[in-house]
Amino acid sequence: MRPGGNRGWLLRLVIAFGFAQGAVSMARPAVSYRALALGADDRAVGVIAGVYALLPLFAAVPLGRRTDHGRCMPLLVTGVVLISGGCALSGAAGSLAAMAAWSGVMGLGHLCFVIGAQSIVARRSEPHEQDRNFGHFTIGASLGQLVGPIAAGALIHGPDRAATSALALLVAGAVAAVAFTSLWRIERRTATTARTARGDRVPLHRILRARGVPAGILISLAVLSATDILTAYLPVVGDHRGIAPAVVGLLLSLRAAATIACRLVLTPLLRLLGRTVLLALTCLVAALLCAGIALPVPVWALGAMLTVLGFCLGVGQPLSMTTVVQAAPGDARSTALALRLTGNRLGQVAAPAAAGLVAGVAGVAAPFVMLGALLLVSSGIALRAPAREPQGADSSVRRGAAAGRT
């Protein structure tokens, strides 16, 4: 597969990811509202949010191993099918147990799509293009996170939230299915045979010992845990503070819009600060803002905090992808990305469960203090484990900046 070249494949991948992520971002708050309507308490909401990541926790590495020596497209198709089905069936579920199960199916579908998509970006990008291409790729996720909560908030209204949240989940399933329209000519069939014929698999311990891989995994875990708990628990905070679902959806979308803005200017930020300083600084600011959400601030202040927080959280995901890809052995990049996603899902299992526990003991705002501590630790990790810059980084950043403006 020839890296570089025409980037129409990347645009199509971004569009498909936007619809898939939009469906998930629409479904996650809808699941929380439906669970509350069906009688769930704060702890049960945390458990259901954690189940979303439970199946992916065990499936990520085998899927990554398979992708290292095969095609990525089957994972994209499977992912869309599982996301669509998981969303729709969550809306039809009549019990908390069934909602948790279908939430797990939705999470498995999201994992399949992301492993396949990230592997395609890694294969089709030159080393100097990876920060830019991963940044542009994650814009698809941010677009979905921008539109999804607004759509969920618009649909979930009135006294019968069980019915309106179910409708939102059914619509989310239909939105996910639209991703099929962009899944064409993203991956070439060439080089599949060569990949399949490669030698023994690289041991996991060798991948994990590569300089930069553990730091990339831990930073990604912290950033995604923050995003995930924001999505799952801001509706609970809003419910306790009397903030309407439509306003909560708008607040979540402000965060996503700021993340998009961050990724659009990622290349000049890298040129100005470098990857290590940029990661450490944004994690530090995000830590302070997450802790600040626990304060009983007015809605306008909460919106301002979430906007800056979204900008800071926009850095961690694309740069941790590049860090892991460049640090891993060349024939184990998909497995390394899968290990990163395993760390993400571990955080998505543990963080909501811990959040539910903390919320039950100290109140619904307390999980955000916990997130602040996690991001503070990740800031220190970023400083202690500097990311390796690709060869020719200076010239490539200039080329990336020019390409990003086209």
> Which domain does 87 fall in, by range?
8-183+204-404
Residue 258 belongs to some domain of the structure: yes
Q: Specify the pLDDT at position 32.
A: 84
Residue 1 belongs to some domain of the structure: no
Which domain CATH number covers 326?
A: 1.20.1250.20
Please give the Cα distance from 394 to 101 (Å, whole number): 48
Token pair recorded at residue 247: 């306003």
Predicted structure pTM score: 0.73
- Average pLDDT across each block of 10 residues of the chain; the chain has 406 residues. List them in order: 61 92 90 85 78 79 79 89 93 86 91 89 79 84 81 82 88 94 77 48 76 83 83 78 83 85 87 86 91 84 91 87 78 81 77 70 72 86 62 40 36
Residue 349 belongs to some domain of the structure: yes
Q: Specify the pLDDT at position 179.
A: 92
Residue 251 belongs to some domain of the structure: yes
Structural domain total, the chain: 1
Residue 199 belongs to some domain of the structure: no
Q: Specify the pLDDT at position 359.
A: 66
Cα–Cα distances in angstroms (integers) from residue 115 to residues 184, 210, 239, 396, 406, in the given order? 17, 20, 35, 26, 28
Q: Specify the pLDDT at position 364.
A: 67
Residue 302 belongs to some domain of the structure: yes
Residue 319 belongs to some domain of the structure: yes
Quick count: other Cβ atoms within 10 Å of Cβ 185? Answer: 9
Residue 30 belongs to some domain of the structure: yes
